Amino acid sequence: MPRATLDCDGADSQTFRRIAGHLASGVTVITTSLDDRTYGMTASSVTSLSLEPPTMLACLNRQSPTAEAILTAAKFGINVLGAGQEWMARQFAAPSDDKFRSVALNGAAEGIPLLRDSHAQIECRVTNTFDVATHRIVIGRVIRARAGVGQPLTYYRGGFGRFRHVDDEDERAYDALRAHILSGGWALGCRTGDAIADELGIDEPAAFYALTRLCGEGIIEWRPDEGYCVVECDFRVVEEAFDARSIIELGVIQTCLDGVEDAKFAKVADAFDTMAALLVDDEFTNTQAFMESNFRFHRSVVALARNAPLMFAFERLHLMEIMSRLQGTTTQSSNKFIDIQQRLVQALRRRDEMSATAAVREFTALAKARARELVADYAPAHPGGLPARHERRVEAER
């Protein structure tokens, strides 16, 4: 549930208008003709209503001449505007006796004027109309429809924009920003979207996509008049990542063990030995090196499946960054982790699915319990800053 920055009751129409503006929509020009005169108006409340038969719905202000003409003519056209046609949307939105100036038209069999350069065109016959408060809902049976190429014009929070597909650049921006935050690379304070884009060397639309997605995950939040801010270390994020790792590893164990060559198990054992040497008497000898070797160990378990998409999903959990942020500056841990993982290695080599499954589940429970302790005791009061306990001690000494 997003934090509310706007709130209103049913009587506050101005605030509601601003809230309703958060619903992104396409932009259309509704047209018709009556007595050799053309009519047109900009509308965003237009949608497909049915496919069997093809039917459209448009919501028009009852006071507009176009709405009145449609009621009499019983026909209308929906002209979907494309990116770059903001001028056309504004022209048809403003009262004027010459809305069609500089606009090329195509004639239609039904006599409906269609905007030649629009992104898509849909011709309709009126089947029903309903008046609701200030607006008229018009239902139209589709007679004919056609579409071109390109991108549609969109409308959001009182402004025009363009639709953007999620592409590889967006995904790379998301991965880079998530790893940047979880590794503590985002210093104290809030950022604007363009500042983040400059900091990471990515374009602004990709940065906005990444920031919006991370807001949804609860890793960052938007604060009015401040910008995007990192949320304090949240156990939920850690728990979800550990659970996802467990699910992936259990899937590998339950489906792949019989077909794995012995040499693959040896790689898992080698990764374990490297990791185990870095935890002595419940303390890391090198915290960062342990985090990296722990990641490689779990990666070697997932690699038993020889499944590239599965490995990709595992790597996108950013477990090493999460653990580094969570661990902070403490070097304390527990050799219980090593004992459980050693049992996992032994069970894998025996192809003992039951024991390997039990080891993964026990390890996950222990890791989540330790994470909860770290979040409570060492989570930064401000991301990228001093641990909460350390910060309180500094305040006490002043």
Task: Identify the helix (H) or strand (E) that includes residue 256.
Answer: helix 235-256
pLDDT tens-digit readout, 330-365: 788 899 999 999 999 999 999 999 999 999 999 999
Report which of residues 397 and 297 the model is more confident about.
297
What span, in angstroms and rounded, lies between the C-alpha atoms of 46 and 80?
A: 10
104-108, 117-121, 161-165: range with highest mean pLDDT: 117-121
Report which of residues 374 and 231 the model is more confident about.
374
The overall average pLDDT reported for the chain is 83
What percent of the chain is modeled with pLDDT above 90?
42
* pLDDT band, residue 41 (cuts 50/70/90): very high
* pLDDT band, residue 312 (cuts 50/70/90): confident
* pLDDT band, residue 367 (cuts 50/70/90): very high
Domains and CATH numbers, the chain: 16-159 (2.30.110.10), 167-230 (1.10.10.10), 250-387 (1.20.120)
Closest C-alpha among 57, 174, 201, 218 to residue 127: 57
Query: For residue 379, is pLDDT > 50?
Result: no
356 CA to centre of own chain: 35
Report which of residues 289 and 76 the model is more confident about.
76
Q: What are phi and psi of 372, to 5 degrees?
A: -65, -40
CB atoms under 10 Å from CB of 200, counted, come to 16
What span, in angstroms and rounded, lies between the C-alpha atoms of 67 and 74?
A: 10
Supply the pLDDT for residue 234.
63
**Average confidence (pLDDT) over 209-222:** 78
Q: What are phi and psi of 4, to 5 degrees?
A: -75, 130
**Average confidence (pLDDT) over 112-134:** 92
Q: Which amino acid is at 193?
A: G
Report which of residues 31 and 233 the model is more confident about.
31
Query: For residue 8, is pLDDT > 80?
Result: no
**Average confidence (pLDDT) over 130-143:** 92
Closest C-alpha among 18, 96, 149 to residue 29: 96
What span, in angstroms and rounded, lies between the C-alpha atoms of 281 and 371?
A: 19
Supply the pLDDT for residue 9.
64
Closest C-alpha among 119, 148, 134 to residue 27: 119
Report which of residues 365 and 324 the model is more confident about.
365
What span, in angstroms and rounded, lies between the C-alpha atoms of 89 and 78?
A: 13
Supply the pLDDT for residue 167.
67
Supply the pLDDT for residue 303.
93
Report which of residues 103 and 220 the model is more confident about.
103
Query: For residue 397, is pLDDT > 60?
Result: no
What span, in angstroms and rounded, lies between the C-alpha atoms of 88 and 29?
A: 8
Query: For residue 117, is pLDDT > 70?
Result: yes
The CA-atom distances, in angstroms, between 96 and each of 9, 73, 90, 91, 111 are 35, 20, 11, 8, 22
Q: For the range 334-340, what are the long-range contacts, defined as Cβ-Cβ under 8 Å and sequence gap of 24 or more?
A: 334/282, 334/366, 334/370, 335/279, 335/281, 335/282, 336/366, 337/279, 337/363, 337/366, 337/367, 337/370, 338/275, 338/276, 338/279, 340/366
Mean pLDDT lowest among 7-11, 80-84, 88-92: 7-11
**Average confidence (pLDDT) over 11-22:** 66
Query: For residue 30, is pLDDT > 60?
Result: yes
CB atoms under 10 Å from CB of 361, counted, come to 14
**Average confidence (pLDDT) over 90-101:** 91
What span, in angstroms and rounded, lies between the C-alpha atoms of 183 and 319?
A: 10
Report which of residues 134 and 9 the model is more confident about.
134
pLDDT tens-digit readout, 143-181: 999 988 777 888 876 777 766 665 678 888 888 888 787
